[in-house]
Amino acid sequence: MYYSLDTEAKRVMTWQMKHCGFSASIMRAKRLPNTGRHHLPPGSQIPVFPVDALPGCPPEWIRGGSFVCPVDADWGIWFDWTSNDQRNTAVIPSVKGMNPITGRRMEGPHMESYEEKCPTHGTPFGNGLFCEKCGYAWPPQNYLTDDSGPLWWDGFRQPDGTVRQFFFTEDEKRDIASLVIGKESTVPAFGFVFYDPLTKRLEPAARIDQIVWKSSYPFFVTYVDGCWTAANPTWDKSTYVTCDDAIQSSVSSCCTGENIIADDGAPRPAANVYCASGLRSMSQLEARDVRPEVSVGAGAEIMQEVAKDSLGIDGWKSGPSSVIRLYFCFREQFERIVEGGIVDPPSQSGFLSNLPVG
């Protein structure tokens, strides 16, 4: 397990990052083998903590709409924005200060579309947004919408309709952002810049890929590295389970709500359990040398294309409606951050705080 539930930090832990009406989740997935092309792997939500609640965070980390999560090497990850109004959300992602769709350094939260000229060289595109000087075809824009591709993202884009899976690593020589934009330009964070449309669009009938996604992984019940997990588990000891081979071998047994026997011998509904194999308290963690900064590498190929946004940048508001930042660090640094204490993050209720509502 990558953090301790004995710490008071669990009081401010959350599964979704929310800011100004938008939300995002980071999903942990199995790191895929570098053989062939893969579909998006299922994932489990990684818990995050508001930076405003942790005074021990580095002073250069931006407060307000910012979160932090402890991670470990060799985790595969992907971003999930499907909890938003999908027809009315555009998002520009960034990885350590670099846009993973374009490979360009984030110079500011600007929506860009590419139609006639290469944004790097200013030369006219050839067929299919191909730039001869770059040696590859550009995507139609630097952001994602529901109709340019589902509102999740898996890795660093390649022009052939695949991306290379995001994964955490200690190997600085594999840190893609450092290699592309220079280490001095990187920050240890993901960024999600959200935009509202000028005119709100009505929700159309569900697409086939949306139906398949939602029916394949109800409750985001998934199996990752020997653990079943569901979104929004209750974090107390009664919900920890030890998964046996029969449960691990079939996702349908979790998704259909069959009971699993928990550590205390009592049955638990499958949609409310979390496999806590290997959980250790912070006091039991061995002392380790300080690990290097977290790098984000490019792993196996996953099929994911970026289609042209039907609305176009003129259909979206000129400025962002929300910016969510997620800082990440290895567990050792997170433990030092937690030692700085826990405070309640600023209230979102204003004068209604601590009053009876609802």
Ranges of residues in the chain whose predicted pLDDT is under 70 = 1-7, 203-290, 347-350, 353-354, 357-358
Q: What is the pTM of this model?
A: 0.76
Residue 177 near residue 95 (C-beta atoms within 8 A) = yes
- pLDDT given at position 209: 42
pLDDT tens-digit series, residues 221-239: 333 443 434 333 333 322 3
Residue 9 near residue 342 (C-beta atoms within 8 A) = yes
Q: In this structure, what are the phi and psi dihedrals at residue 131, rounded to the nearest 5 degrees?
A: -110, 120
- pLDDT given at position 117: 94
- pLDDT given at position 164: 96
- pLDDT given at position 167: 97
**Which token pair is 166?**
């995001």
Name the residue with tokens 């995002």: 24
Name the residue with tokens 């990850």: 77
Residue 172 near residue 313 (C-beta atoms within 8 A) = no
In 3D, which of 261, 279, 281 has the Cα closest to residue 270?
A: 261
Distances (CA, A) of 329 to 101, 240, 315: 23, 25, 37
- pLDDT given at position 11: 85
Most distant CA pair in the chain, distance? 68
Rounded CA-CA distance 105/295 in Å is 16
- pLDDT given at position 351: 72
- pLDDT given at position 8: 73
In 3D, which of 189, 186, 183, 170 has the Cα closest to residue 295?
A: 170
